[in-house]
Chains A and B, each alone.
Chain A
Amino acid sequence: MESDIPLSWFLLFAAASFAIGLIGVLTRKNAIAVLMAIEIMLNAANVNLVAFWRYGPELPEAGPVAGIVLAIMVITVAAAEVAVGIGLILLCYRRWRAADVDRYDSLAG
């Protein structure tokens, strides 16, 4: 089909999103902003999973919906991570009255 989308376009979108998320993790200071950037990176990985599932060869031993189920598992883990992460950030905010990641330096030598 000539009007179809090439696989590499999805991969490039995912790579760009992952790079943007990585930049966010490395440059943002607020802990919740870092958490949001991590969510961007996880979503980029999900796009890759579903794209490979849709375009890849159909293996009988892999089941018909392998990429979908893997993406659902990633979404589950990401939701749990956000819940625990928000709880930890609230705890740290109550202790240090700040949500900046470079204020949490109690373990610094």
Chain B
Amino acid sequence: MIRVLFLVIAVTGLASALATVLIKNLVRAALALAGFFFAVACLFVLLEAEFLAALQVLIYVGAVSILLMFGIMLTRGVQGTDPASRPSAWRLPGVVIGLAVFALLGYAIFQETGLGTQRAWGAIDPRPAIARGTVEPGAPRRRAINDMGKVVGVELMTRYVVAFELAGLLLTAALVGAVAVAHREDDEPSRGEPSRIPSDPPITTSP
């Protein structure tokens, strides 16, 4: 039953990914991309990482898709069509490289044997079931799964605090950088004096 559910979700996700790559209309491609993000969130739920699924829906479906759609509308007009595609001289090598990478990954997935004392992936135990009721003290992952938000917060503040602070610094820098890059000089309301920078220099870099 759960396998059927997985297959349905996987087929939906892969079809959405293919639609994202193949559809000419960019707005529809962005909608298909939101569908792919949602399928990945469903896979996170199947992997019992519901907290991460909620994050995926909030950040990807909610923010990244909308940001991409704003980008499309700001660069292409509302129609968002992408009529000119890359010439076929580029299309065939791209598809061949993609299929070759998939064949290599699939071969590796089915051929791996484990390393040293580690077992092969095929011999790894099936997932431990979700703990019901009281949990024995020796299973921190089960406790983490049952109390994901709290455990992730505590771990972010103790074990991964450096990564957490670095992520905060990165987000701040990215926010400031995005505003500075996309800033337009001639959109500023003039404060009495005109800007001395020529409005449309051909080559010079933006401030």
Q: Which residues of A are interface residues toward B (Cβ below 8 A)?
A: 1, 3-13, 15-24, 26-33, 35-37, 39-40, 43, 46-47, 50-51, 53-58, 60, 63-65, 67-69, 71-73, 75-84, 86-91, 93-94, 99-100, 102, 106
Contacts and interface: CB of A to CB of B under 8 A. Distances in A.
Interface of B is mostly: helix
Contact of B181 (A31, A43, A91, A106): A91
Given A36-B68, A68-B49, A13 B29 contact: no
A84 B178 contact: yes
A23 B95 contact: yes
Contacts, number: 255
A1 B127 CA distance: 8
* Prevailing SS type, chain A contact patch: helix
B98 to A, nearest CB: 3
Interface residues of B, number: 93
A12 B49 CA distance: 19
A26 B109 contact: no
A21 B126 CA distance: 29
B113 interface: no
A15 B105 contact: yes
A82 B82 contact: no
Nearest to B99: A19
